[in-house]
Structure 1
Amino acid sequence: MKKQFLSVAMGIAFLAMATACNSTKTDSSTGDSAAMDTAMADTSMTSKEAGVEVGGAMMVPSKNIVENAMGSNDHTTLVAAVKQAGLVETLSGAGPFTVFAPTNEAFAKVPAATLSDLMKPAMKADLTKILTYHVVSGALKSSDLKDGMELTTVQGQKLKISMKDGKWMVNGVNITIPDVISSNGVTYVIDGVLMPK
């Protein structure tokens, strides 16, 4: 928060100085210069924290996995399921975690009745089992993955990583966006829901 405040303050000071320096120029050149200065300030502020765009929102390393997921329009079903299972606090914790995050489209492939049943309070244990099957302890980037490697999930069973046509997969499900870095781990966007045995 303090870093963001300082960045904004520096940007405002920079714009104020640029406007003062340009005040002796003609109106049209002042407008062009101010627009250019604003664009430069915006670029410098954005470059301080690069991220990955997921579901229309920028996923940034200063936010935890849950905070980033809550910003994604493509992960509203996952966020609702995490809340229903009572896993928000856990996945907001220090971790680190590697999370394979199914999109809304991935959840849409699950029969509607099954998904509806899983979201009932009586099914919390089953929902938790499925969600924790998508989580691995440690922060694994795609550079750490190897074709054929097995990862033990928080749920206890294993996931198998594979590469097909130059693209990573987990249990045969496509990883569509790798290496979404958060403050407490790494997220991989996937196009299917992983079901434990």
Structure 2
Amino acid sequence: MKKIVLTSFALVGLLISTSCGNNKKEAEKVEVEKEQVTPTETESTEKETSESSTIVAIAAANENFTTLVAAVKAADLVETLNSAGPFTVFAPLNDAFGKLPEGTLDGLLKPESKETLTSILTYHVVSGEFKAADVVKAINDNNGSFVITTVQGGNLTASLDGDSVILTDSKGNKSKVVLTDVDASNGVIHAIDTVVMP
């Protein structure tokens, strides 16, 4: 009888210790799972923060760029301009689009004009981040004018008129930089007063 009782206690003890061991392992497993989830959540938060300060997000938050943002969406360039970059964007203000001949903008926003619109918009984008001081230095270092190659593949010529940077497009039209160095997480924006054309 004593042997049976002792054996029973031994079995109960074994079950309790096994159970405790399993609980401990479960707790460790949950802790490991928590550790694995945390970096993903952090990365997600960083991504959201990064995307909330991209060139597109900053332009979308500024009422002076509503036409530009509508054009970027129509050309399906949101994802591109939200990417890592960095980019320098010479961003036309709403008034700049208003200077286009009547009906031009409406025509460009139509689905069948997507290729032309994309060409025009990417003509305003330069690969790399160039602050106003960099642009002015490049102009001064190159005898008063500096040729900029755009993402579209065409060239813009930057020059100075007093303290203002002037962009001359391939057709000879001029645009003045009216606001500089608007920082974004993936580059910089300079506002211009006229749409430049490739």
TM-score by length of 2: 0.67
**Aligned residue in 1 for 2:185:** 183
Deviation (angstroms), 1:62: 7.0
Q: Deviations over 1:149-178 (max 9, x none)?
A: 111101000111111011111113110001
AA paired with 1:189?
Answer: A
Aligned residue runs from structure 1 range 53-68, under 5 A:
63-68=53-58
Aligned counterparts of 1:134 and 1:184: Cα–Cα separation in 2: 16
In structure 1, the residue matched to 2:157 is: 160
- In the alignment, what sits opposite 1:79? 69
Which ranges in structure 1 are unaligned for 5 or more consecutive residues? Answer: 3-60
Partner of 2:90, secondary structure, is strand
> 1:181 is matched by which residue type in structure 2?
D
AA of the residue aligned to 2:71: A
**1:62 and 1:182 in contact (8 A); partners too:** no
Report 1:63-142 matches (<5 A).
63-142=53-132
1:112 CA displacement: 2.5
Structure number with the higher helix fraction is 2
Alignment of 1:24-63 (within 5 A): 63=53
Cα distance in 2 for residues equivalent to 1:68 and 1:170: 23
* Structure 1: distance between partners of 2:184 and 2:52: 6
Equivalenced residue count is 140
Higher radius of gyration, 1 or 2: 2
